[in-house]
Amino acid sequence: MTFAEFASMVERLKVSRPQWFELDSDPPATIDQVQAAERSLGVEFPVEYVSFLQRYGGGYFAFGNVFSVDEASDWSVVVRNREGGFVDRGFLAVSDNGVGDCYGFPIHGKLCMSQIAFWDHETSQVSPLYDGFVDFLVAVALKP
């Protein structure tokens, strides 16, 4: 699914299921905020994640959550990754499941891959799950 198809799906869901989108979220990000977060973490975000941040921000998103580039937010991708030490382990956490595990991008060099993997907090193992960020959101955040 392309990001444009995803955005169209979200707009339809906001009309048919507005209650899914009523929880607090952070405002859309500027490119300056995105670049500052990338510099702070020493990585380059995948295009789909940047597109999401610029259109939707972060925080609660339907039945999921997405870490934002607002460092003052409870959903800060910078703070969450520093606290978890994920980047040093080759992983950029961009969402969590509420029980200690995270979803995110494997990192090669300084480039975040477009695939979404699952980081298990009990084993510190990373397992690939979804081909892309949009696929992850459709499967995790947009399914009741």
Q: What mean pLDDT is predicted for residues 117-130?
A: 94
Answer whether residue 144 shows pLDDT above 90.
no
Alpha-carbon distance of 74 to 69, in angstroms, equals 10
CATH class for the region spanning 3-140: alpha beta
Q: What mean pLDDT is predicted for residues 101-113?
A: 97
Q: Give the model's pLDDT for residue 139.
A: 96
Average pLDDT, the chain: 96
- Give the H/E segment covering residue 105: strand 102-108
Question: In this structure, which amino acid lies at residue 106?
Answer: P
Q: Domain locations in the chain?
A: 3-140
With a CB cutoff of 8 Å and minimum separation 6, the contacts of 60 are 23, 24, 25
Q: What mean pLDDT is predicted for residues 8-14?
A: 97
Q: Give the model's pLDDT for residue 134.
A: 97
